[in-house]
Amino acid sequence: MSYIVPIGPYHPALEEPVHARLYTDGEEITEAKVFIGYNHRGIEKLAMQKNFIQTIVMVERVCGICSHSHAFSYAMALEGIAKMEVPKRGQYIRVITAELERLHSHYLWLGIALHIIGHDSLFMHTWDDREAIMDILEEISGNRVNYGMVTIGGSRRDISDQTRKNTLAMLDKIEASNAALADILLSDKTVALRTQGVGVLTTEDGIRIGAVGPHARASNMPVDVRKDAPYSSYDDFDFNKVVYPTCDVFSRVVVRVLENIESIKIIRQALDMLPKGPINLGVKIPKIPAGEYMVRHEAPRGQLCYKVVTEGGETNSRVSIHVPTFKNAPTVPVMLKGNSVADAGLIIASIDPCFSCMDR
């Protein structure tokens, strides 16, 4: 028997609005369509009415998980227009915050995936580790979600010696627990049965559609802006692109576990080599000349692009935001086809979507 099974727009696999329509033959999905656009907030339009500092505050609210990535990217675009050189210490602090954010984002996704699989005990252990990361983010910035660490020309807050020591101690704990997590995920039969061979996105389909971030790297695509087009001193650090070849949900789990190791390496190096000197250029509302600039940033979910246009006044003429979920969402119908209805929620969640980001 053929059926149309609707999933969403609320709670298909996560607490964000998206609607998937599954065309099935019994339990098998023969075709799928995904519908978006339930959460439009008009942030790009609002940015045309705000000054540059107000816009930093606003773009941090595009996403609650990768808020620093949005502020980071917007500031880099303005700095590109104004030809500002951010002090080295400010660049390093931006990188430290970005990699801590990547860690907490990956742990959040791993916990959600384990919860969908039905491995709730490991879900709770994973989120317990995430709490330790967020405690450090709170110690550095004063906030657990929107950090307010970025200003135009550098970082708004410095990292004290005590916070540096606390961060290194936290990384020791996370590194040990991440190794234990990897052992379980690579050997557990429940995880294997629910993820191996499920939601396959071949390398060819990933390239054709334009997948980005961990989702692309899990389909054997070696794309990472931090390596391909280094920014904010990323070329100072020794780390690896994490690529895995099995192209399924299991591959997406493995990539994020291994990327945690690389993020820990980057943070340790940045803390050990943290330069002396100022953290910003000391400007509050800077004068930005007329111009336009586009930047690419490797957010936790993948390549994030900002194009900013200014006309020499106090507000933006245009802020165009291109988020990774916009590139990864079209892969969902391809991955759903041929799988069971029972796996649909996990497959949708496996791209680590942020539909709020995408709708803006």
Cα 274 to Cα 231: distance, rounded to the nearest angstrom: 16
Cα 131 to Cα 198: distance, rounded to the nearest angstrom: 30
Cα 297 to Cα 79: distance, rounded to the nearest angstrom: 14
Query: How are beta strands 302-310 and 154-155 bridged, if at all?
Result: unpaired
Amino acid in position 259: E
Query: How are beta strands 28-35 and 154-155 bridged, if at all?
Result: unpaired
Cα 240 to Cα 97: distance, rounded to the nearest angstrom: 19
For 266, other C-beta atoms within 10 Å of its C-beta total 21
Cα 203 to Cα 160: distance, rounded to the nearest angstrom: 44
Give tens-digit pLDDT for 93-150. Answer: 999 999 999 999 999 999 988 888 888 888 888 999 999 999 999 999 998 888 989 9
> Residue 298: its pLDDT value, please?
95
Residue showing tokens 């980057």? 266
> Residue 64: its pLDDT value, please?
83
> Residue 293: its pLDDT value, please?
95
Whole domain around residue 85: which residue ranges?
Answer: 2-359
Give tens-digit pLDDT for 48-89. Answer: 999 999 999 999 988 888 899 999 999 999 999 999 999 999
**Residue 35 vs residues 20, 39, 62, 149: alpha-carbon distances, Å:** 6, 12, 20, 35
For 61, other C-beta atoms within 10 Å of its C-beta total 15
Mean pLDDT of 40-45: 86
Q: What is the pTM of this model?
A: 0.93
CATH code, domain carrying 17 = 1.10.645.10
> Residue 15: its pLDDT value, please?
67
**Number of domains composing the chain:** 1
Cα 117 to Cα 337: distance, rounded to the nearest angstrom: 19
Element containing residue 317 per DSSP (H, E): strand 316-322
